[in-house]
Amino acid sequence: MIKVGKNILKEVYKQRSPDVHKYDFGLLLVIGGGEFYTGSPTLAALAAFKTGVDMVRILAPKRAADIIATFSPNLAAYPLKGKWLEGEDLPTLISMAESAERVAHGKTAIVIGGGLGRTEETKETIIKFLSQVSTKAVIDADAIHAIALRKELIKEKNFLITPHCFEFFILTGRQIQGLPLGEKVKIVQEEAGNFGVTILLKERIDIISNGKEVAINETGSPFMTKGGTGDTLAGICGSLLAQGIEPFTAAQAAAFINGKAGEIAANKLKESLTATDLIEAIPEVLR
């Protein structure tokens, strides 16, 4: 079993050649947000930029996209038509994913789920979209509830799934909260192997497995219970996938970076920590 440490950063961040161009370090699509949750895709996108991806495009229902577009000039937000992700949005999602693959020459990834909601139409749209794309993807939050309805579609896909304990139960039917670490490790490894994907279980000690190997990450802080710190993790995962890092390594590095940035911010702010404070601490982790 691997214990993740700072040396993981050397695996994912290499010396850059001066002869590089836009999209050489990836293009990330973030699909999220809705009438109520507008911050989730924003936090994922900002964390992705801070961890090195060249470009992020956010696809969100109109109200969320309009708010996101005014938040930062770094963010490009494409407005979908309705209040929620709906079936009529499917052709747009597929077209944008295909376009991203072409323009970035395959250096592309998707983060999907944060803030999308769990209406039946939204979940069905997520399922149809994921069944029709081959792009590497981070499956988070509401998208986990969607794929739990059609588990066969994730078999052997190039996906990184980022559940907390309850989402893990929704996906697998296995209750792991309160179990000893060793038992959790065994169960996560089994389920990652069953699905043929990488799972990053978000816990006090994060557990990461691709079904063959297992890693644990101990960075983090008890002040990281604030809303949005899971969105930042998903964004970092997506950023690294888009830069060409394979899922198991990307999950380890993302867990380390997110947790360590949370530690740094919490040391200064304690109860006042927010997800945006964590994002601002990321450059200190990468130094």
For 152, residues 6+ apart whose C-beta sits below 8 A from its C-beta are none
164 is in an annotated binding site: yes
Give the burial class of 138: count Cβ atoms within 10 A of its Cβ; 0-12 exposed, 13-18 middle, 19 or more buried.
Answer: buried
DSSP class of residue 71 equals: H
115 is in an annotated binding site: yes
Give the burial class of 173: count Cβ atoms within 10 A of its Cβ; 0-12 exposed, 13-18 middle, 19 or more buried.
Answer: exposed
Dihedral sign from CA coordinates of 75, 78, 83, 89 = negative
Q: How far apart are CA 138 and CA 125, in angstroms?
A: 16
Q: Which residue is it, tokens 């969607």?
A: 146
For 33, residues 6+ apart whose C-beta sits below 8 A from its C-beta are 40, 41, 42, 58, 60, 61, 64, 65, 68, 114, 115, 116
Beta strand 214-217 with 206-209: parallel, antiparallel or unpaired? antiparallel
Do the beta carbons of residue 234 and residue 140 sit within 8 Å?
Answer: yes
106 is in an annotated binding site: no
Question: Which of 264, 267, 235, 249 lies closest to 41 in space, CA to CA?
Answer: 235
231 is in an annotated binding site: yes
Question: Which of 90, 86, 126, 133 lies closest to 108 in space, CA to CA?
Answer: 133
Q: Which residues are annotated as a binding site for (6S)-NADPHX?
A: 115, 164, 231
User: Binding site residues for AMP, as ranges?
Assistant: 230
- Binding-site residues, in ranges, read 115, 164, 230-231
